[in-house]
Structure formats: structure tokens, C-alpha cells
Amino acid sequence: MGLGPARDVSLADARLRAAENRRLLLEGLDPLEEKARQKGPDVQERTFAQVAEQYITEQAPGWKDPRSAPMWRSSLDRHVYPVLGSRPIGSVQTEDVLAVLRPIWESTTETATRLRGRMERILDYAQSHHWREGENPARWRGHLGNILPKPTAVTKVVHHAALPYRDLPPVYSRLGAEHGVGALAARFVCLTATRSGEVRKALWSEIDLKKKIWTIPAERMKAGREHRVPLTNGAMALLYKVQTLRSSSGEDSFVFPGGRVGSPLSDVAVSKALHQAAGTKDVTIHGLRSSFRDWAAEETDFPREVAEMALAHAIGDKVEAAYRRGDLFNRRFEMMHAWERFCAGQSTEAVAKPPRSNPDSAPLFTWKDSDIGDSDA
């Protein structure tokens, strides 16, 4: 039970408030409810659900993703409101927050972590409007972090089913026999070692066909950093082929268009193409990144950080990251060319000594019609 922020309440006042709270408890009264009653009906009747809805309504226009507000409301409806929805906002305490979080903290940790943050923001909002006093009971640092286990200690890591890299060449070849956009996108995911969403939502304005570079803007990257992707001969051939399927010509049009005009290809379409080529649904499109990483570690001499940066992962600690401020683009271009040759079923000797490149000068490869075929894509 809070007595008010330490910076605003003197020791003498805190003692007086504590004594008053003890008196009310001895009389069988709830100090928090009594305080709300004394402040008037407006404060007393302002429930957690009402404050939460007001917060969402006011803040949602500034949120980037239009889906955020519905997701907030859905999670609060399901997990929070059954416990706290009708409670006066000023009476919410730590045990109330824990009553929401504990049942799901270890089973659905990511959801619970989001809910904790949302409750904290709603309670901060209420305090800013003087609808409650005391410390925020949903605060993690120095509070709930001392009660609940760390999310990283209880989160169950879900690994995406990966195709063993040695089994990839025939699957890649079968993808080449398909001519749908889903199969083209799946091959492009494979050759670039990028995520399905990054490929499906790629725009032509992000592609530099002359320099053979695909620049994914920070806002579309999981890590929030711009990522430059080297485009090998096979990747370029796929782009030239998919150009013939374009339904619109603007630079803001999707590279891999969906069935509806102006929409990107669906994740289902890409996954379906991979499942058909692999002959099983026990592999995922995201797992191709793991196939690439395993190949790089077991079949090549490329340094670990080159593969990690190809996957847009952070490399090492802050010192290592500061030391390697560049994105190792030239080495990554070499690695992706070697990876392409492996996927195409070409000799391991060709993988061992990939050619060097300079993407800022003349293009390394010259595209030709035969590059669309299975032998060199």
C-alpha cells in the first residue's frame, strides 16, 4: 500500500498517513477504498477498464501499426478485465497485478510480458491524471522483477523446423520447376537468407538492379536497423522473371505481388510452395535461414560474424560490434554467391573459393536468360 512518491512525501507525512491507514484497518475499512470515497464519486467510479479504454483511445492515433489498438483491447479483455476491469483504478495493488500475470507467466511468457507493460502504462497514465497515488504496482525494475522469474528464464524457445542443408539442393531444384509467385519468392528467401515477411513485402524501390543490392529499410527489419542484401546471379534472375508478373509499374509496388491488386504475397503461398517441393509440411520457410547458418558453419571457412550479419543478427558484445561498424558487405557477397552455388548443386570446390566482389563498381555478374533455369539459380 503506497504512501505517495518518496520525493513528494516527507518522513513525517508518511508516518501520519501510515498511522491513519492502521486506524482504518482496525475499524475494518479498506484505506484505499476510503481514500477514493473521500475524493468524490468521479474518482471512486473510475475503473481500470474505463481508464484503459480512455488511454487507448487517446494514444492509438500516434501508434504506427493500426492493429495495435485492437490487439491491446483483445489482450485486456481476455486476461486483465476479468480480474481488474471493475476495480477502482486507485485501488489496484501489486497482488492484483500478480493475479493477472502469474497464471500465464510461464506458459505464455511473451503475452504476459506485453500485458505487464500495458498495465504499467495504463497505471502511469492514471497517476499522471491524479486518479491514483503511490508507486506503479506493474513496474518491473526493482519491483515485479524481484517477485517473478525473468522472462528469459522461463520462455520456451520455439525452433522453426529447418530442412537439413544437405537436403536443400533437390528441394531448390523442384522449386525451380514451379512458375508461381510463391515458388519464386521461396527461392528468393533461400538465396538471400532473409525472412519471409521481408521478401513478401519488398518493394521495387528497395532494389538497385544496377548495383545488385536490396536495401531493406529499418522499419521493416526485426532489429530496427537498415539491412543491405547482396543479390547474386540467381537472385537477380528471379527478379527479372518476377518482373513479367507485375500488375503495377510504380516503384512502390510489391516485388512479389499477391492475388489482389496492391497486396503482397501471402505467407501461406510461400510456405505451400516449399511444402510441395520438400514433400512434407514438417519444414518452414523461416527454417531456411537455419539451413543457411548450418551450411556456413560446417561447409565453409567464412568467419562466424559474416554469416551472422548475413542473417541481420547482432554480432558479439558491444566492443565487437563497435569494432566491426561496417556490414561486411563484400564478404557477405562472396558468401551468398557460394551459398547459391551450393543450392544449385554445384561442386564444393566452387564453394571453398568464392570470387571477391565490389558492389560499388561494375556488377559482378551479367544476367542472361539461362540464369533462370535450375543449373545456375
Do 336 and 221 reside in the same domain of the chain? Answer: yes
315 CB contacts (<8 Å, ≥6 apart)? 304, 305, 308, 309, 321, 324
Tens digits of per-residue pLDDT, 222-250?
878 889 999 999 999 999 998 887 655 55
Percent of the chain clearing pLDDT 70 (strictly above): 77
pLDDT at residue number 110 = 84
Does the residue 179 lie in any domain? yes
User: Does residue 229 sit in helix, strand or coil?
Assistant: strand
Residue 20 has pLDDT above 90, yes or no: no
For residue 52, give the nearest of 98, 120, 107, 111 by alpha carbon.
120
User: Does residue 35 sit in helix, strand or coil?
Assistant: helix
Do 204 and 60 reside in the same domain of the chain? Answer: no
Do 225 and 326 reside in the same domain of the chain? Answer: yes
Do 233 and 102 reside in the same domain of the chain? Answer: no
Does the residue 277 lie in any domain? yes
For residue 286, give the nearest of 171, 111, 135, 162 by alpha carbon.
162
Do 148 and 255 reside in the same domain of the chain? Answer: no
Does the residue 9 lie in any domain? no
| Whole-number Å distance between alpha carbons of 203 and 356 | 28
Tens digits of per-residue pLDDT, 173-200?
999 998 899 999 999 999 999 999 999 9
Higher pLDDT, 40 or 279: 279
Does the residue 22 lie in any domain? no
pLDDT at residue number 184 = 95
Does the residue 23 lie in any domain? no
Structural domain for 117, as ranges: 46-154
Do 130 and 255 reside in the same domain of the chain? Answer: no
| Whole-number Å distance between alpha carbons of 232 and 337 | 6
Residue 33 has pLDDT above 90, yes or no: no
**Average per-residue pLDDT for the chain:** 81
pLDDT at residue number 172 = 94
Do 202 and 290 reside in the same domain of the chain? Answer: yes
Half-sphere exposure of 98 (CA within 13 A, CB side): 11
Domain at 63, CATH number: 1.10.150.130
Do 234 and 364 reside in the same domain of the chain? Answer: yes
pLDDT at residue number 362 = 33
Provide the β-strand partners of residue 167: none
Number of domains making up the chain: 2
Domain at 219, CATH number: 1.10.443.10
Estimate the crossing angle of helix 94-101 against helix 109-128, to 10 degrees: 150
Do 120 and 210 reside in the same domain of the chain? Answer: no
Do 69 and 119 reside in the same domain of the chain? Answer: yes
Last residue of a domain, one of 100, 124, 154: 154
Please spell the DSSP secondary structure of 236-268, one letter per residue: HHHHHHHHTT-S--STTSBSSB-SSTT-BPPHH
- Region of 369 (left: φ > 0; alpha: ψ -120 to 50; beta: rest) is alpha
Estimate the crossing angle of helix 329-343 against helix 233-243, to 10 degrees: 80
Chain centroid to CA 374: how far? 33
pLDDT at residue number 107 = 84
**Model confidence band, residue 155 (pLDDT cutoffs 50, 70, 90):** low
Residue 361 has pLDDT above 50, yes or no: no
Last residue of a domain, one of 105, 123, 154: 154
311 CB contacts (<8 Å, ≥6 apart)? 193, 289, 292, 293
Does the residue 8 lie in any domain? no
Edge-to-edge order in the sheet of strand 227-230 = 207-208, 213-216, 227-230
| Whole-number Å distance between alpha carbons of 116 and 150 | 13
Residue 327 in grid coordinates: 556490414
Amino acid at 250: G
User: Does residue 228 sit in helix, strand or coil?
Assistant: strand
pLDDT at residue number 304 = 81
Percent of the chain clearing pLDDT 90 (strictly above): 48
Does the residue 256 lie in any domain? yes
Supply the pTM of this predicted model. 0.53
Helices (H) and strands (E) in the chain, counts: 19, 3
Do 222 and 140 reside in the same domain of the chain? Answer: no
Half-sphere exposure of 315 (CA within 13 A, CB side): 19
Residue 157 CB coordination number (10 Å): 5
Residue 297 in grid coordinates: 558453419
Last residue of a domain, one of 99, 126, 154: 154
Does the residue 13 lie in any domain? no
Do 225 and 335 reside in the same domain of the chain? Answer: yes
**Model confidence band, residue 350 (pLDDT cutoffs 50, 70, 90):** very low
**Range name among 59-73, 141-155, 310-324, 362-376 with the lowest pLDDT average:** 362-376
For residue 244, give the nearest of 311, 322, 184, 201 by alpha carbon.
184
pLDDT at residue number 270 = 94
| Whole-number Å distance between alpha carbons of 61 and 358 | 45
pLDDT at residue number 2 = 57
